[in-house]
Structure 1
């Protein structure tokens, strides 16, 4: 049954993937203190280049987007040059790789970038401490002004241009998992009363502005986006969110992007306000190449692809545990079970 996974898949005239398995973005915190990719990262990605597409770990678009230690960036020449080594190694091994573009919004912290401002759609603070810096509490964010929003769009776009300079085959806009763009898309975190809030069109505006700007800069064929319609982390579900994503996914369906990617940890969860699982909801709403994720075994993924439930499957933790995942699945070998201690291993 898994033979379905190993067939080439054509995204567009620019990109055909060697198989339908993609590597999910996996934050590993392996960059150096200047957020430059390291030699360990080169080896890590090169070993997994036989998947149809690697999606890089989330990569920040500018300094004030950081909320985890040693996450790579794409806003300095040194970072671009460091990524060139990664993309060259992936290409030399026959692979393709997209950069996932990231700004954490209110999950960012000035501990990482010094004196500065944490931005969000609304001035709503998260309770608690940072996941990898427990001595630091989340800060009160500033509701971004119109000029600051325009600058963010420009910085996302520049990061996309930098990604192409660095040799990436395209970019995935990280608009999921409770980070900056996702914060605009949910009523819990977006309390604005201007053209970026209150209505589904306004709440979708920031995501669409970024998508359109990046598409114009590098091509829609090299532009993708990841979304979390169900709310994911640090966001409370509001049934009205469905209307936002109904509108957003309809708009994205008209843009002929490389793909849309679900952002969910466990896709077996049923969400009443979405009428089912995240992948089921997104497949109904989005007319284009759709990538699912969320705990699928190879056999489950193959069955769903055969049923046209999604086109591509992103694999996360099993690819940390099994850099030879493709070969093992092809030959029916047992997979090494993931455990958290593996996060200390770089490759």
Structure 2
């Protein structure tokens, strides 16, 4: 292929990406205990995939009450910052680029993960039927349990969390990340303010669209301050996914408003998570074109993309970069496979969360597969 849109360089702020392929954030629950610190195993995992144009690290919680799943890494202690430095050094040594995804889960947590404290949210609404991963259930084994009932944040507490995001952004830069991505998707805390069915507040953070977007805007500006550069900040949104109990009455209007606001703030990119399950709602092409019209920055799309679909999206102009999630788990050399049109290995579901190198760093590359077959 003479002109392959996936393999054209791309300028993202000060970074020159060698291709348009993104490894998106994926929770793997391998942080060292105690302390939830990134480690050498995680550094190996990300370095194996450093030929992606951009890596966005797994969701990384910004403060103790922001944690929602067992063995996920944080970025609010000295040990956590040092742990992430091992990862960023390993990725940079391979010539890669990596952003930290900053995460506060809000109501999608469990008291056992929070030292017995109650989760927090925009409103005191439990995410019924939504499970979170904990280290030990009633039988003493890791597993999924119903998220605990949350309490509503006070305005003063909201401001404290905005400050925690600002500090987390500074910590990420100290840890060697090239930038940060705000997790404002998939039903987590920022999403709990944005979507109308998760936000019953009657103060300046609830009710009207401008009010429901206020927290998003305050956090985005805090990240710009924390990194020192709007072009080192990205935002992940999930306009139509309805994941983890968050749903909006008029999502297209809401998320076009969010995109317009983020364009005014000047963040580097918006990372759109499309629904990726079998009967998921379809994101209309016209909506994607409207997002392009209202937001002047870089647009990344993720959601069951094949190489062919990714190329078509970039050529059509509504996407700049394409993220491949699950394929990166079992294919450390995914970039090479996409370039060659080679078949993709399938990941093992049972090793997604927790454990050791099995199902994390032991997937073979094409050359290793060929050697084993010889």
TM-score w.r.t. structure 1 length?
0.93
2:58–2:101 CA contact under 8 A, matched in 1 = yes
CA contact (8 A) 1:275 1:281 kept: no
Is the 8 Å Cα contact of residues 187 and 246 (structure 2) preserved in structure 1? no
230, 238, 250: which one pairs with 1:220? 230
**Residue 285 of structure 1, CA deviation:** 3.8
What is aligned with 2:301? Answer: 292
Residue by residue, what CA displacement relative to the aligned partner does 1:146-196 show, whole Å, maximum 9, x if unpaired?
110000000011011000000000000000000000010111100000000
Q: Which residue of 2 aligns with 1:240?
A: 250
Residue number in structure 1 paired with 2:366: none
The 5 A counterparts of 1:1-347 are 3-12=4-13, 14-33=14-33, 34-128=35-129, 130-133=131-134, 135=138, 136-218=145-227, 219-266=229-276, 271=281, 279=288, 282-343=291-352, 344-347=358-361
Cα displacement (A) at 1:31 = 0.3
**2 CA distance for matches of 1:318 and 1:305?**
19
Q: 203-212 or 121-130: which moved more?
A: 121-130
Structure 1 runs of 4+ with >6 Å offset: 267-270
Report the alpha carbon displacement of residue 286 of structure 1 after superposing the two structures with TM: 2.4
Q: Is the 8 Å Cα contact of residues 262 and 278 (structure 1) preserved in structure 2?
A: no
1:236-274 deviations in Å (ceiling 9; x for gaps): 5333343322222111122222110012342997858x7
Query: Cα offset for 1:91?
Result: 0.2
Cα RMSD between the aligned structures?
Answer: 2.1
Question: Are the equivalent residues in 2 in contact too, given 1:264–1:278 (CA < 8 A)?
Answer: no
- SS, match of residue 222 in structure 2: helix
2:141 corresponding residue in structure 1: none
Separation in structure 2 between the aligned mates of residue 296 and residue 220 of structure 1, nearest angstrom: 28
* More displaced 10-residue stretch of structure 1: 232-241 or 258-267: 232-241
Q: Structure 1: how far apart are the matches of 2:360 and 2:280?
A: 34
Give the direction of change, closer, same or farther, for the CA distance of 1:236–1:252 in structure 2 (3 Å limit). closer
SS of 1:95's partner is coil
Q: Distance in 1 between matches of 2:58 and 2:341?
A: 28
Contiguous gaps of at least 5 residues in structure 2? 139-144, 353-357, 362-374
Cα distance per residue 1:8-28 (max 9 Å; x no partner): 10122x122111001010100
* Partner SS for 1:171: strand
Question: TM-score w.r.t. structure 2 length?
Answer: 0.87
Q: Is the 8 A contact 1:320 1:342 kept in 2?
A: no
Cα offset, 1:85, TM superposition: 0.5
Matches of 2:288 and 2:106, distance apart in 1: 25
Aligned residue pair count: 345
Runs (5+) with no aligned partner, structure 1: none
CA distance in structure 1 between the aligned counterparts of 2:259 and 2:39, rounded to whole angstroms: 36
